[in-house]
Amino acid sequence: MLALLKLLQSVFATLHSEGTPRQVAWGMALGTCLGLTPLVNLHNLVVFFFLCVFNVSFGGGMLGWALAVPLGFALDPVFDRIGNALLMNPGLRPMWTAWYNMPGVPYTNFNNTIVLGSVVAWLILLLPLYGAARWGVARYRATWGQVVMNSKLYHAVSASKLYNVYRWFRPE
């Protein structure tokens, strides 16, 4: 229930933030990586760093993460097949071998089928995700945004303490 409330809060906060549709869309596209790929990996630290220091919507990132988590679980078998096909491809073996024996790179766990498959899938989806999110946010703000903002539900959510924490990271 709490998770659902948080998600709802995140959705409202993001859609009605001061960030531009572009900032929100980049945030969501980056945040999707956190949910689509196994979380405890080096590439996600980099993505998290980007979400923090680049002027994109942090809330959008959290929203993208939350929405992508169930998708990531569901698509794991697909990621496994993609990763397996790439890692066992004889043409790519010299590259994997070089990466595997390169300082630092093995800590990315690129040689795990799920990690590689999901990261590759996310990279392929990054621009389409960004485009779809940007169009969706702009469209929402132009149509339903004002109605929702005047609703009691929105005021209740935005008044919670979590919203204050979120404000640290909202786009400037």
Partner 1 sequence: MTTGLFRWKAILPFLLVTGLLAALWLLFGAEFVRRSSEDYATTTLGTEVDIGGLAITESRSRVTVTGLQVADPYDRSRNLFEAGRIVLDIDPVPLLEKKLVIDQMELTGLRFMVPRRTPAREIKSVGIAQRVRTQLGDWKHQFDVPLLSLTPIDTIKALVLDPTKLGTVQAAQVLTRQGDSVRKALETAIGAVQPGPVIDSARALATRLAATSPARLGVQGSVQAAADLKRALDQLGRVKQQVAGLGQSAQSGVKLLGQGVRDLDAAREKDYQFARGLLQLPSISAPDISYLLFGPATASMFEQALYYTNLGRSYLPPGLDPLRKPGPTRLRMAGSTIAFPKLKAWPTFLLRQGKIGFRFGGDSTAGAFSATVQGLTSEPAIYGRPTLFGARGALRGAVPLSVELGGALDHVTATPRDSLRASLAGVPLPAFNLPGLPYRLTPGRGEASLAFALDGDRLRGAWSLHSAQLSAALIDLAQGKPQTPLQALVGRVLGGVQSLELDARLGGTISKPSLQISSNVGDALAGGIRNVLGQEVTRAEARVRAEVDRQTAQAVGQAQKLVAGVEKNLGREIGLQSDQLSKVDTLLQAQLKRYAGGAGGLLKLPKIPS
Round to whole Å and give the CA distance between 33 and 156.
Answer: 30
Length of the chain: 172
From 85-93, 124-132, 141-149, 151-159, give the range in contact with partner 1 by CB under 8 A: 85-93
Q: Does 102 bind partner 1 (CB under 8 A)?
A: yes
Pattern 7-26, partner 1, x by CB under 8 A: -----------xxx--x---
> 89 by DSSP, 3-state: which?
coil
> Which amino acid, 29?
A
* CA-CA-CA-CA torsion sign (170, 63, 135, 44): positive
From 1-9, 80-88, 126-134, 135-143, give the range in contact with partner 1 by CB under 8 A: 80-88
Q: How far is the CB of 97 from partner 1 (least distance, A)?
A: 4
With respect to partner 1, which residue has the nearer C-beta, 91 or 168?
168
Round to whole Å and give the CA distance between 106 and 104.
Answer: 6
Q: How far is the CB of 156 from partner 1 (least distance, A)?
A: 25
Round to whole Å and give the CA distance between 79 and 103.
Answer: 26
Q: Does 172 bind partner 1 (CB under 8 A)?
A: yes
Q: Does 72 bind partner 1 (CB under 8 A)?
A: yes
Q: Does 3 bind partner 1 (CB under 8 A)?
A: no
> For residue 145, what are its two tokens?
């945004």
Q: Does 84 bind partner 1 (CB under 8 A)?
A: yes
H/E element, 66 = helix 58-87
Q: How far is CA 10 from CA 41, 81, 89, in A?
A: 24, 33, 41
Q: Does 103 bind partner 1 (CB under 8 A)?
A: yes
Q: Does 109 bind partner 1 (CB under 8 A)?
A: yes
* CA-CA-CA-CA torsion sign (6, 8, 11, 12): negative
Q: Note the residues at the interface with partner 1 (CB under 8 A).
A: 18-20, 23, 38, 40, 49, 52-55, 58, 72-73, 76-77, 79-80, 83-84, 87-88, 93, 96-97, 99-104, 106-107, 109, 111-115, 117, 168-169, 171-172
